[in-house]
Structure 1
Amino acid sequence: MSDVERESPPTVTSSRKPPRTLACVLCQQRKVKCDRKFPCNTCIKTGVQCVPVAAPRQRRRRFPEGELLQRVRHLEDLLRQNNIEFEPLHATASEKNALDGAKQTERSEGASPEVKTETTFEAKFHWIEGLTASRNLWHAMSQKVQPNRGLSLMEKVLIADDQQTNAYNDYEDDEDNDDDEDLRDVAGKKTWDQMYKNSTDYLLFGSRIMDIDLSTLHPDHVQIFKFWQIYLENVNPLLKVTHTPTLQVRLINATADLKNVEPNLEALMFSVYCVAVMSVQDEDCLETFGFAKEELLQRYRFGCQQALLKCGFLQSDDRDCLTALFLYLVAVRPDSDPRSLSSLLGLAIRMAQRMGMDNESSNAKHGPLEGEMRRRLWWALLLFDNRVCEMSDYRAATLSPAWNCKTPANLNDFDLQPEMKHLPQSHERPTETTLAILRYQVADLVRHSPFFLDFTNPSLKSIANPNDHGGTLEALQQKIEETCLQYCNTENPLQFMTLWLTRGHLARYRLFQHFSIPPSQQTPLQRDSALTQALTMLDCDTIITTSPLTKKHIWFLFFHFPFPAYIHILQYLKREPLAAHAEKCWRTMSESCKVRFSDPQQNDHPFHKTPIFKVFARIIVKAWEARVGVLKTSGKVEETPFIVSEVTRMVEVPGKYERAEVGMSSGQASSDTFGSEELMPFPVMGMTPRFNGFEVQEGFDFGGGGGNDGGMIGNGMVDVDMGALDLSAVDWSSVNIQGL
């Protein structure tokens, strides 16, 4: 082979470099080393979504400091040759001696120092210095002493610029700039365990009472299994956060020696007592256990708090401990302010994230049974938190595409065994977990849906992928109906609940999807569809609450009051009093009212005395006034719906609106009877301003426009500011169910 052939340049194909894999977004932001696999090891450990970088950032050009210094020296030589005085950047030995002698003479003669004005170049240097100064205390304490104190101004600028450029380029190339360990990195788990041992227990439940014997707070053996049976019938089918076969064996063994129960299991036992008592009616509790419900709740809540403190729940990584905290929060929910409950749920979710429950790769490492129970607990926490957020003034930020935990499989508890190595195939027909699983599947699609992220966190829409989670709500509903709901046995209490709760749940989110469409872009077909979803919500709620099959699950139904459906229907009736569906709307709301509003005088906290009720009643009456006004012009008479007469009776104005022929001018009822005092903020979903309480710009204008347009009275929406409603001020347990 000739030398020419040996030295020939390689072809274009062989010289082309493979595309460089860049560090993920989070590692670049945190400036830590990334293994450049997706998901990377750092994101897996921190339990966050790993987002790859599509294209590298454009690099700055290196500062040509060598060329610039050479030019400065050349210019200094020219100034010397022409005997021009100047302050040299690189002074010679004779110049340095002369300069030092002049300064010494000035000091000896007491001359005042020369006041220099800051040049443009010096000002630029100070500006650069301000930009690069550390603004973080931990970073500032980690900085090294600068070794370039004796250099001139120009040299400092050039060196600083060169160091900044090199640091940037080195980070972009290999991201190995971890030589200077940040002080905060030494704050590891072992350090905190050693420094703050037993000193953070008081943060939530106060200090643990060390001399208390928790075994004395347990019920007797017979009552323990009564509570366990109530839990299995009333609570477990709806939440499915415990594995019945394994937990029952542990419970039997624990009752044999209550003085030596493992702390995490003991906390879980007390939480079971709490939710079991919470789920029964007062008279049933007195008949079964011989104590008032409130007395038992106080006893077992205290026991659960002490048991949680005993197992160090704030630092614990045990699933039983977190499950106990979750069941405790469910048990205290009826008597808790949603704002406070939301804060405690935030704590529970942070604990679950620390344990890696939001990360599918972490769950998969724990085996089929443990991994599946972790998924169930994570999703139960998320949906509970999402509902509480809707009742308080917070955005449901946790229900987002920023985590990747899978929905649990549709399996019975006995399908999962501790010795299993692989997860069984999910069932296609209803099981004991189907109710919870279907709610999780709907929520999984919703958290990836653009309409929901518009309300919560629009910046996450770029990583959302609804096509991998069901596509659209319509497509998911059709799939659920065909594969599951049509096979539900309506004589089975759990499957009956599954059928109607799932349909109501889907209708609810489809109604919220309609809220995301600006009114100017809504078509008549979309408005009709939204009304249908609102009516479906009320119908499903009425069917469930009136069935004797759901008596044991009333505690769960209280937690899901269909308030958005009421408001949407009333808005529609105010705008179109004689619409084709008007009579059906009034009839549906009246049927729902009969089961949702019982006699308030029999409750400790009457619903009709809450701040929200006067506003809610005024909305109903104003919508009815619009219909009465139109009927009056045509000489027609219509009987007052039950919901109108009931709310007027509750506010102690009997007989005023017994029949529709009674003349009512627009605004009369609201001004005379339903005052606007004590209005409080109410966000239906507690989200961004775009949906913060049915706002005007999104089609929920409750301004009292009473003009006449085309023979229709009540062209304006109901004149109630929905931003003035606060569901968190309502004791929903007082919205009782008649006959139960």
Structure 2
Amino acid sequence: MSGSSSRSKKILHPRGPEADAEYSLAIKERSPKACIACRTRKVKCDKQSPCGNCAKTRLECIFPSPIRTCYRPKRTHWTELMGFHQIVEDLTKALDAERSHSLSGSRTGRSSLDESSRRESSQDVITPESEAWASESDRVRYFETRVGRLLRSEGRSRYLSTSFWDTANEDLTVQQADDVLIKSDTEMADAQDPPRSFDGTSKFPLGSSKVDLQYFHPSPEQIDVHWDTYVGHFDPLVKVLHLPTMEQLVTAVKLRQSLSPPNEALMFAVYWVSLISMPEHVVQRVLHHEKATLMTNYRWAVEQALLNAELDNTQDLATLQAFVLYLASIRRLDETKRAGNLAGMALRIAQSQGLHHDGTRFMLPPFETEQRRRLWWQLCYLDQRASEDYGAESSAWDLAFDTEPPSNVNDEDLIPGSTRPVESKRVWTDSSFCLVRLEFARMNRMIRTGLATDRKDLPVFLSKRHSFTLAEKEQLISRCHHDIHTRYFTNYDPSDPLQYLARSITDMLIAKSRFMLRNPLRPSSIVRSPSPVNSPSSHRPSQPATTQLPPDAKDRQFSLAISILELSTQLESDPRLNEWRWLIYSYFQYLPLAFILTELCVRLPGTPDVDRAWHTVAASVDNWTDDIRSSQNGIILQRLLARAQATRARWQ
């Protein structure tokens, strides 16, 4: 053993003058490798010291060792294996004993268990339906054995499930979690200097080296502009932050105080989403730059900030909040597939922090429970919207969760550290607009999965699924419409633009939900390219394929689609809603418009419904933005419009 060890040392570390000379010559003769920075960025390295790329970006140029080291795992001693085997065997016996006790109701404990385990096993089985808990510890133990545990420390959390491996390795898992939770947020010693320039590209979310972003924060005056825009334009729609708490963070940034990576990611997310909601002329007037340039810069910065906060391994709620704001914004940029993929990643991160279980299960304070509810349900909503964009089912509804919906309260009603439960209001609040959108998410979950979301017993996800009939789905839609009006619009003020926008979107989405119950379009009906107007087959109308509906049912669908498009066009043209124009275009009604155009290819002109349809289509086309025209769905709509116009011209 010692001989082989000494031989290996001679190979790796030669000694003596001759050996040193041979070793140096071997290194020189080897083809030099690219530096670590160039290999990470996947760019060509000139292999100088320092290389040109590192010199340009002021990065430390480090070359890897020319000697390839072979790492071999240490052999596990037989005694260690036997010890682990004995631990597993003891745990298995203990679990079998507890299971048999639960089935028989016996009060007798096993002698192999310790004294506390014997006392627990000698008690009756505790259930939520019991008249009273024996003690608070009994209640905690019940939920820990059925829901899991939540480890918390200074804003960080890690969820431990009830799976075998989390249970068998509980001591080790808790220790590892503690190591992660107590890790300092301000640990940026290995951060690189900020690059003087960048090309707008990013490896997000795969990761790269850390970058110091302190020079990328805007001036205090511009921070005020971003914050005011966020509070007025974005926060009511994506309610995941507590504004009074965030204002303290904004003040710290303006004073140039150091920020933890999660809080810095949150601030750059605020800059980014506020910029998206600003019109071009406002950006040039108050920020003194082109909007496109700032969007490139801030997008790179927010993605890099999320990487600095170790998004893929985060235990911090602030990092996930920043990620949710980022996800809510990129869908607006017609990156639906990317948004859907990242939403799935966000859901897994949320699960690792236990957000899929309500905070009351872990005895969390009301403030923290409410923050977690807001974040989880916003994630479910974003995942559903992203899945609808590219025709897939939402993965969020397949997850087992019992998180209650957020409460309809103002931010001032949520007090950090308070133990008083939060009570929902039945009037318009800071959270109402966001909750209206979540009501549709809950309704769609029930329709698609047959799973109720308002059960109070534990666990919700074990309730029996039900396949709804068409009539039952219509009743669900009507009930959703009624609930929204009674919960949020009892004090409706039409002079408030935000309330008017929320109520109009509600009416539009209710109509669209009814339209989608009998969706008359097949996927192939709007994808096929139309024949040229002057082709040999153009003398007869070319109709996209639709599902076979009775004539009266198709007429009702046609009229309903026109009503949906009229509501959408009305919102796009209302000058009171200029501040939320970016949001309104995210509700562009592609499917109803596609159905109208397919029907205009076969319906005779001159009838009241057809004339009304053409008037509405013309108004909608006038409001199309360049983003809509250049999108994949927009190109399809333009083809259908050309086909419908050609058909109309032949009939006239």
- Residue in structure 2 matched with residue 241 of structure 1 by the alignment: 240
Q: Which amino acid aligns with 1:414?
A: E
1:325-347: per-residue Cα shift (whole Å, max 9, x none)? 11223344444632222211211
For the residues of structure 2 that align with 1:479 and 1:487, how far apart are their CA atoms?
14
Cα distance change, pair 343–433 in 1 and its aligned pair in 2 (3 A): same
Say which SS state the counterpart of residue 266 (structure 1) adopts: helix
Measure how far apart 1:437 and its partner are. Answer: 0.7
Q: 1:350-429 alignment to 2 at 5 Å?
A: 350-361=348-359, 365-392=363-390, 394-400=392-398, 402-429=400-427
For the residues of structure 2 that align with 1:540 and 1:335, how far apart are their CA atoms?
23
- Contact 2:366–2:421 (CA<8 Å) still a contact in 1? yes
Q: 1:21-420 alignment to 2 at 5 Å?
A: 41=144, 44-45=147-148, 188=173, 204=205, 206-209=207-210, 212-258=211-257, 260-335=258-333, 337-361=335-359, 365-392=363-390, 394-400=392-398, 402-420=400-418
For the residues of structure 2 that align with 1:450 and 1:370, how far apart are their CA atoms?
30
- Residue in structure 1 matched with residue 621 of structure 2 by the alignment: 593
For the residues of structure 2 that align with 1:488 and 1:272, how far apart are their CA atoms?
29
Say which SS state the counterpart of residue 394 (structure 2) adopts: coil
Q: Which amino acid aligns with 2:585?
A: F
For the residues of structure 1 that align with 2:334 and 2:549, how far apart are their CA atoms?
39
Q: Which amino acid aligns with 1:541?
A: S
Measure how far apart 1:372 and its partner are. Answer: 1.4
1:99-124: per-residue Cα shift (whole Å, max 9, x none)? xxxxxxxxxxxxxxxxxxxxxxxxxx
Cα distance change, pair 491–356 in 1 and its aligned pair in 2 (3 A): same
Measure how far apart 1:185 and its partner are. Answer: 9.1
Cα distance change, pair 422–577 in 1 and its aligned pair in 2 (3 A): farther
For the residues of structure 2 that align with 1:594 and 1:181, how far apart are their CA atoms?
58
Tell me how many residue pairs correspond in the alignment.
Answer: 456
Deviates more, 1:382-391 or 1:526-535: 526-535
Q: 2:516 aligns with which of 508, 512, 532?
A: 512
For the residues of structure 1 that align with 2:355 and 2:166, how far apart are their CA atoms?
29
- Contact 2:331–2:386 (CA<8 Å) still a contact in 1? no
Measure how far apart 1:270 and its partner are. Answer: 1.1
Measure how far apart 1:436 and its partner are. Answer: 1.0
Give the aligned CA root-mean-square deviation in angstroms: 4.3
Larger Rg: 1
Between the two structures, name the one with larger relative contact order (CA 8 Å, sep ≥ 6).
1
Measure how far apart 1:271 and its partner are. Answer: 0.9
Structure 2, gaps ≥5 residues long? 1-100, 106-120, 129-141, 151-162, 191-201, 452-460, 523-545
Q: Which amino acid aligns with 1:399?
A: W
1:16-62: per-residue Cα shift (whole Å, max 9, x none)? xx99699xxxxxxxxxx9x8968975552299xxxxxxxxxxxxxxx
Cα distance change, pair 400–420 in 1 and its aligned pair in 2 (3 A): same
1:258-291: per-residue Cα shift (whole Å, max 9, x none)? 3x22332221111111111121122221211112
Cα distance change, pair 616–294 in 1 and its aligned pair in 2 (3 A): closer
Q: Which amino acid aligns with 1:542?
A: T
- Residue in structure 2 matched with residue 640 of structure 1 by the alignment: none
- Residue in structure 2 matched with residue 72 of structure 1 by the alignment: none
TM-score where L is the length of structure 2:
0.61
- Residue in structure 1 matched with residue 572 of structure 2 by the alignment: 545
Measure how far apart 1:495 and its partner are. Answer: 0.6
- Residue in structure 2 matched with residue 583 of structure 1 by the alignment: 611
Say which SS state the counterpart of residue 300 (structure 2) adopts: helix
Q: 1:503 aligns with which of 503, 507, 512?
A: 507
Q: 1:560-709 alignment to 2 at 5 Å?
A: 560-577=587-604, 581-595=609-623, 597-598=624-625, 608=629, 612-613=633-634, 615-624=636-645, 632=651, 661=652
- Contact 1:329–1:341 (CA<8 Å) still a contact in 2? yes
Q: Which amino acid aligns with 2:227?
A: W
For the residues of structure 2 that align with 1:625 and 1:21, how far apart are their CA atoms?
78
1:555-614: per-residue Cα shift (whole Å, max 9, x none)? 22222220011122234444543665222222222222222x25xxxx5x7x55666555
- Residue in structure 2 matched with residue 557 of structure 1 by the alignment: 584
For the residues of structure 1 that align with 2:283 and 2:317, how far apart are their CA atoms?
30
For the residues of structure 2 that align with 1:517 and 1:286, how far apart are their CA atoms?
43
- Residue in structure 1 matched with residue 539 of structure 2 by the alignment: none
For the residues of structure 2 that align with 1:333 and 1:532, how far apart are their CA atoms?
29
Q: 1:434 aligns with which of 424, 429, 432?
A: 432
Measure how far apart 1:207 and its partner are. Answer: 2.1
For the residues of structure 2 that align with 1:616 and 1:359, how far apart are their CA atoms?
42
For the residues of structure 2 that align with 1:43 and 1:529, how far apart are their CA atoms?
49
Cα distance change, pair 611–449 in 1 and its aligned pair in 2 (3 A): closer
- Contact 1:401–1:463 (CA<8 Å) still a contact in 2? no
For the residues of structure 2 that align with 1:298 and 1:228, how far apart are their CA atoms?
19
Measure how far apart 1:414 and its partner are. Answer: 1.3
- Residue in structure 1 matched with residue 480 of structure 2 by the alignment: 476
1:359-389: per-residue Cα shift (whole Å, max 9, x none)? 2255763222221121111222222222222
For the residues of structure 2 that align with 1:609 and 1:249, how far apart are their CA atoms?
41
Structure 1, gaps ≥5 residues long? 1-17, 23-32, 48-176, 454-458, 633-660, 662-740
1:641-661: per-residue Cα shift (whole Å, max 9, x none)? xxxxxxxxxxxxxxxxxxxx3
Q: Which amino acid aligns with 1:346?
A: G
For the residues of structure 1 that align with 2:405 and 2:177, how far apart are their CA atoms?
34
Measure how far apart 1:192 and its partner are. Answer: 9.2
Q: Which amino acid aligns with 1:226?
A: V
TM-score where L is the length of structure 1:
0.54
- Contact 2:262–2:319 (CA<8 Å) still a contact in 1? yes
- Residue in structure 2 matched with residue 463 of structure 1 by the alignment: 465
Measure how far apart 1:447 and its partner are. Answer: 0.2
For the residues of structure 2 that align with 1:193 and 1:393, how far apart are their CA atoms?
41
Cα distance change, pair 406–521 in 1 and its aligned pair in 2 (3 A): farther
- Residue in structure 2 matched with residue 135 of structure 1 by the alignment: none
1:384-440: per-residue Cα shift (whole Å, max 9, x none)? 222222222532221357422222121111122124323333221222221111111
Question: Percent identity of the aligned residues?
Answer: 23
Cα distance change, pair 367–510 in 1 and its aligned pair in 2 (3 A): farther
Deviates more, 1:619-628 or 1:566-575: 619-628
- Contact 1:234–1:552 (CA<8 Å) still a contact in 2? yes
For the residues of structure 2 that align with 1:435 and 1:252, how far apart are their CA atoms?
27
- Contact 1:445–1:471 (CA<8 Å) still a contact in 2? no
